[in-house]
Amino acid sequence: MDKYGDWLIMLVASALLILWLFRLFHRWLHEPASFNRLKLGKGVPLDPNDENVLFLEQNGYHVVSGKHRIPIQIDLDGHELDSRLYIDYIAELDGELYIVKTARDRMPMDWTGSGIRDRLLVYALLLPKCQGILFINVKERSIRKVVFQL
């Protein structure tokens, strides 16, 4: 009986190992290529007197990190171009992370579907684990939450 018990344990352990390897391969195969590539650090240290940080905290958000600069290299017809994206803040509410963009006078927001898409979709695609984008305007005392569903 001991001989068959050992085989049964080995068979169950092998089946579990094969199932685990299959799930690992399936997840790797169906995951987007850059899904976990971008890891944000702490960003620029927060200024405790920053009006944007104070406004977010007054509305229940906890600002996790400051400005992030994300470098982008572009190849245009064989010529290297450098650009960058800026994330103003990362904020948290009820365990959910949000990308924060602040309103700027020189770049007014077009609140149409195409305007929002053109301006903010890149951030949702850049960090898919975030729950959305908060667009804050301290002068108007408004926070608009944008969530893209693809």
How far, CA to CA in Å, does 41 sit from each of 62, 66, 67, 71, 130?
17, 10, 10, 14, 15
Domain 51-146 architecture: 3-Layer(aba) Sandwich (3.40)
Phi-psi region of 99 (alpha: psi -120 to 50; beta: other; left: phi over 0): beta
Task: Output DSSP code: residue 40.
Answer: -
Sequence ranges of the domains in the chain: 1-31, 51-146
CA pair distance 125, 34, nearest whole angstrom: 10
Q: What is the pLDDT of residues 79-138, one digit of tens each?
A: 999 999 999 999 999 989 999 999 998 988 899 999 999 999 999 888 888 899 999 999
Verdict on whether the full-model pTM lies above 0.75: no
